[in-house]
Structure 1
Amino acid sequence: MELNNKDSFFPIMAWGTSPGDISVLNEMSECGLTVAGFVSPENLDMVNNAGMRAFVMDSRASGYDFTNIDYDKMADNVTSLVDEVGSHQALMGYYIKDEPNISEFSGLASVSELFQEVSPQKIPYINLYPNYANANQLGTEDYWEYLDYYVNTVNPPIISYDHYALMENEPLREGYFSNLEAIRLASIKYKRPFWNVILSTAHFAYREPTSADIRFQVFTTLAYGGKGISYFTYFAPKSSNCRMAPIDQFGNRTPTWSYIQNVNLSVQMLAPILLNLTSTGVYHIGNVPKGCLTLPGNTLTRAVYGNGDYLLGEFAHINGSNYIMIVNKDFNNSTNFRLELNDPNSQIYRISSYTGNIEGLVDESDWLAPGQGVLLQISPKGI
């Protein structure tokens, strides 16, 4: 299944259900979203008119006890749904399950395999727990066992997971980066892309997101090689202490709407390159979280100079060229940086997040806002 689409479509999703309202869908597209989340089959035409894609949410795909699948009934349901919507150009795939327990993997495999057989260009969408889920939720004490068994059993075309790390009482939940490490490892080991569901709505003890919070979550995901971003949520749930979603409970834009729009448009500018990159290494400079690596000095990058706290991802492009993404991990302060490469015959160019064009760096250095990342191209000198 080819998910690194040649048309530079990068999945940026509003996680949750979306209404059959063309004005709302147009506003989502204006926000830079490319996937309208989960919709009813009859709303696919409106999604298409808004220039997006969507996952169909329908009981024929998701309405099962996955610990006890009636295969014949499920097969009839899947065939019926695919006959109805399978050829629709706005269809991204089929919503199956959110945060499954390991006991459900066998049943999920039956549903997912059948969808991939009869609708091979679409995604049977399943989203995994984060690494802070407890053993009762996961069905095992070990997160890697959960993740590895999932991919081996269900054989999904993508690996999607969520991790909400923006806490009121601390800058970042411990385990955010170790979760990215595990997901990246599975993505590389099993050769399939990963998507990250990130926090855009304050609830429980999660804080109201700032522009830096949004940038941080998106660019750290991209630096680890992520090929899809989902926002939890776009529409504010009308319950509990939920607040500052991009669209509030009265249907109005909040500042968060502009925060995610700015980042989404930047991702779309970078998408033609991002979709063709393979992660070759991820390193932390400054504070190195548990389970992560510091820059060894013998890869593409010899050293990073500056007073900041950085994340650096190295990539190989399908055309043989190399790229680097460097992210400022500080939520409050801008920082500058300068890179030293191991190859003295190479030079560094910046890919503009606003135009997609290649630009030069001044003395191979630049500035980063809090949470901001920049994509850099490494080219032979003189080119």
Structure 2
Amino acid sequence: MMRAIPFNNIPYVGMLFGLFILFYSCKQLEFIQPNIDEQLSAIVPPDMGTLSSGETMEIGVYLAPPFSYTTLTNYQWIKEANIDFIQDISGQHTLASKLSMLDMAHQAGLKMIVADNRIDGTDLQITDMMNDYHLHPAVKGYFIKDEPTPSQLADAATRYNKVLAYDSSKIPHVNLFPSYATGALGNIDYENNYVKQWINLVGAANLKYISMDNYPFLWNGTFRATEYYHDLDVIRRLGNKYNIKTSSYLQSVGVQGVFRRPSTDELRFSAYSNLAYGIKIPVWFTYWTPQHETEVFTDAIIDPKGAKTNLYDPFKILNAELKMTGNHLMDLKAVAVYHSGSNIPTGATGVPINFLIKPVNTSLDLIISHFLNPVTAQEYIMIVNKSLTTAVNAAFLTNNTVSNVQWVSKTNGSVNATDFNPSTSQFSSLLLPGEGRLFPLTVHVPSRTVTTLSGSGQVGHLDGGATAARFNFATNTGMGVDHIGNVYIADINNHCIRKIDVNGNVSTLAGNPGVIGNTDGTGSTALFNHPTDLVVDSQGNVYVADTWNWAVRKITPAGVVTTVLGWVIPFPQGITIDEILGKIYLVSALPSASNGKLYELTVGGALTTRTLDRFIVSGGITLDKKGDLIIVDNGSSVVFRVNRSSWETEIIAGQSGSHGYTDGIGTQARFYHPWGVSVDQDNNIYVAGAGNKFDDPGVYAQGSNIRKIDVNSDKVSTVLGGASAGYVNGTTTVAQVNLPTDIAIYQQKIYVLDRNNTRIRLVN
């Protein structure tokens, strides 16, 4: 939103909201009003406050009463509308005028951000400015910059941190452009080269929040959907990644020819759609109606002469409701946002097939957000009716992990029962146009059945029926599954590749049992040397990490073995494939070779070494449904993601160097030298506990488990096993495994390489 508009330099092109921003020297938004003592300038959006666990949601307004309307009544109206903070609208008022505004805010129980032109001055001027204000009880923070261009970010970050250095309890306020402000931003990568750049320049630990403009209600009656949801999702994801609160401006005014005046229902939608994307600090633009020489504003909440408009009462009621819902949201993360209906916005994601809930009527236009409390692991759903004109009484179906659904009252914030029926797994909710509701869920891990697919439990090599077959898993090793459910095993100490059909019958696909070598050929004429992992493509070809041969081998369905690349990658350990790009990815078991290195290999044998920002100690690797690589670090006991565009890594779960067996959210969870990894059709991650560090004789029973990492929440739960080793079939609540080193997933089936039990287990 462009708020600072000089009359003489900027042509009228809807610049108040930053719609067609082609300018860089905006300084002043003027008001035509009686008895104004000074020209008002440098109008900036308000601070949104430092938020911490247990804090209530604070709501702000931009454009408080102009100075000549600084009366206790006008400020009390703001407070009565359930607003917590307002905005000092001028950087050029006298100090005495500013202090009188702060005094009035304090009398009304409000806070303010101070806008003072000295923020653009020298260090001494900034210090003098803060000395003048920082002890006033109504001061919440200081305006730094509204809508910096990319070239202005560094200066804004410097001044931001100067304010923090003087008084870290105050808020330095910077508000970012929306992505559609291409006149100011150009064609840059909005997420990485603007928003993320801002985070990096200030420092994620220093940022109080990320704030941006985002206005969807256009003059011609349309809704700017693509950019609206895109920008909300950008700051949602980056806020989650860097643990930074987010803020957004909610449209409550129009500009003739550019933006329409929102209706009551559109006000409601603006509020709840922002909350659904995890916004913790909603701020209304604008409370007081501006007057301008060239731009014609519609009435906002208060008209230009200080009278309440027809939006004031619904605005007041809506803010009270937002606080009741928002108080629950303050400690939650919006871990995923989905859309339902016949017209999913470009760039948005539809509701996954097996998600926690979905509408029975899939044509309903809804936002369905997944929230999580990262401390308690409590899960929530927020549902927003995207219709701006029609109420819906919608029925919803839950998946088999949900055993109860409640709802949060907007009157008092209490948690109440819905009409959830466990026998049908359904509940319903009435949603007004634009309305959102928050639903706490009771979620459990459903019980499954564990059986033995193959293996007698005796070490050796024997093909045949399920109960007779023998394997030799002397150390950590891997497995894979093809497109029809056949399982393939890297039988490491037998130096061969085994195949298990859907009935559990075992055969040797390639390799001569017990014979070490490095020979291409067919079936038993081909030789391997401690093959450790494999991956199967959609044609049934098996690619093998032939570890001690430093090779990648290919086996056709007929058992014909060729070498893709040999004697180049030191001890390749984990392997996965991207068939679309025709690339194979490997990690090494040799610490000196795996030090920040990831090996990318074409199926034709061309090798590229990728450098990562973290050390890798062997373990498993897989490709998820979004195209990221998921790696289990066996040495440091973490699971992390690799972005193949930037090659940046991000820890998903576990804490580096901290080993154990603890379920929890993300870095709160603990693993004990895990090994294998796989993803299901919904992109949930499964990790084999292993309990054995590569090249270390010690084994730890705490790794006798299979864990699941939820795709949205990074919530780690135990699917099978626990901290004790054993061999028990039955339900997953009682079944035991003994240091499993890999898993493979086919449809709803999970295959487990149960290393110390020398068996392949099936979870159904």
**TM-score (ref. length: structure 2):** 0.46
Distance in 2 (CA, whole Å) between partners of 1:171 and 1:359 is: 37
- What corresponds to 1:94 in structure 2? 142
2:241 is matched with which residue? 189
AA of the residue aligned to 2:73 = S
Deviation at residue 81 of structure 1 after TM alignment? 2.6
Q: Where does the alignment leave 5 or more consecutive residues of structure 1 unmatched? A: 65-72
Kept in 1: contact 2:81–2:312 (CA 8 A): yes
* TM-score scaled by length of structure 1: 0.90
Q: Give the Cα–Cα distance (whole angstroms) in 1 for the partners of residues 286 and 158 of structure 2.
A: 29
- Higher alpha-carbon deviation: 356-365 or 118-127: 356-365
Distance in structure 2 (CA, Å) of the matches to 1:21 and 1:95: 23
Q: Name the amino acid aligned to 2:140.
A: M
Contact 1:41 1:56 survives alignment (8 Å): no
SS in structure 2 of the partner of residue 116 of structure 1 = helix
Q: CA deviation at 1:93?
A: 1.0
Cα offset, 1:380, TM superposition = 6.0
> Aligned residues: percent identity?
27
Instruction: Report the Cα offset of residue 344 of structure 1.
Output: 4.5
Q: Alpha-carbon deviation of 1:26?
A: 0.5
Per-residue deviation, residues 134-158 of structure 1 (Å, max 9, x unmatched): 1x41255332222121221234321
Q: Which residue is 1:167 aligned to?
A: 218
Say if 1:195 and 1:228, in contact at 8 Å, map to a contact too: yes
Cα deviations by residue, 1:106-143 (Å, 9 ceiling, x for unpaired):
11111101111221122111111111101x41255332
Q: Do structure 1's residue 357 and structure 2's residue 431 form an aligned pair?
A: no
- Partner Cα distance (2:394, 2:330) in 1: 26
Partner of 1:216: 269
SS of match in other structure, 1:254:
coil
Kindly indicate whether the alpha-carbon contact (under 8 Å) linking 2:378 and 2:441 is maintained by their aligned counterparts in 1: yes
Give, as a single letter, the amino acid of the residue that structure 2 aligns with 1:269: M
Q: Which residue of 1 aligns with 2:297?
A: 242
SS at match of 1:272: helix
1:298-355 superposed Cα distances (whole Å, 9 cap, x missing partner): 34x2422235210011111233211111000011111122333334452111101122
Residue equivalent to 1:67:
none
Aligned equivalents of 2:251, 2:332: Cα separation in 1: 25
Please give the secondary structure, in 1, of the residue aligned with 2:232: helix
Report SS of the residue matched to 1:255: coil
Cα distance per residue 1:269-297 (max 9 Å; x no partner): 22321111111111001131111111113
Is residue 176 of structure 1 aligned with residue 222 of structure 2? no
State the partner residue of 2:285. 232
Name the structure 1 match of 2:127.
79
Contact kept, 8 Å, 2:236 with 2:277, in 1: the verdict is yes
Q: In structure 1, the residue corresponding to 2:197 is in which secondary structure?
A: helix
Aligned to 1:367: 430
Give CA deviations for 1:72-126 in whole Å, capped at 9, x if unaligned. Answer: x532122223323224332221111111111111111111011112211221111
Counterpart CA distance in 2 for 1:344 and 1:7 is: 28
Residues 380 and 439, structure 2, Cα contact 8 Å, conserved in 1: yes
Residue identity matched to 2:264: S
2:83 aligned with 1:28: no
Secondary structure of 2:196's counterpart equals: helix
> Matches of 1:161 and 1:170 in 2, distance apart?
23
Specify the SS of the correspondent of 2:122: helix
> In the alignment, residue 76 of structure 1 is paired with which amino acid?
L
Alpha carbons of structure 1 residues 109 and 353: separation in structure 2 relative to 1, 3 Å:
same
Tell me, yes or no, if the aligned pair for 1:74 and 1:111 is still in contact at 8 Å: no
Q: Structure 1 residue runs of 4+, over 4 Å off?
A: none
Corresponding residue for 1:290?
Answer: 346
Aligned-pair CA distance for 1:379: 2.8
Quick check: which has more Rg, 1 or 2? 2
| SS of aligned partner of 2:88 | strand
Q: 1:29 to 1:214 in 2, by over 3 A?
A: same
Amino acid aligned to 2:202: V
State the partner residue of 1:68. none
Residue 56 of structure 2 is aligned to residue 9 of structure 1: yes
1:201-252 residue CA offsets vs partner (Å, 9 max, x unmatched): 1113211211111111110110010011111111101123211200011211
Structure 1 residue 327 corresponds to structure 2 residue 375: no
Q: Which aligned pairs between 1:38-53 and structure 2 lie closer than 5 A?
A: 38=88, 40-53=98-111
1:44 Cα deviation from its structure 2 partner: 2.1
Give the match for residue 55 of structure 1.
113
Deviation (angstroms), 1:254: 0.8
Task: Give, in angstroms, the shift of residue 17 of structure 1.
Answer: 4.6
CA contact (8 A) 2:221 2:260 kept: no
Amino acid at match of 1:160: S
SS of alignment partner, residue 429 of structure 2:
strand
Q: Is contact 1:244–1:256 with CA below 8 Å preserved after alignment?
A: no
Q: 1:9 to 1:79 in 2, by over 3 A?
A: farther
Q: Is the 8 A contact 1:44 1:54 kept in 2?
A: yes
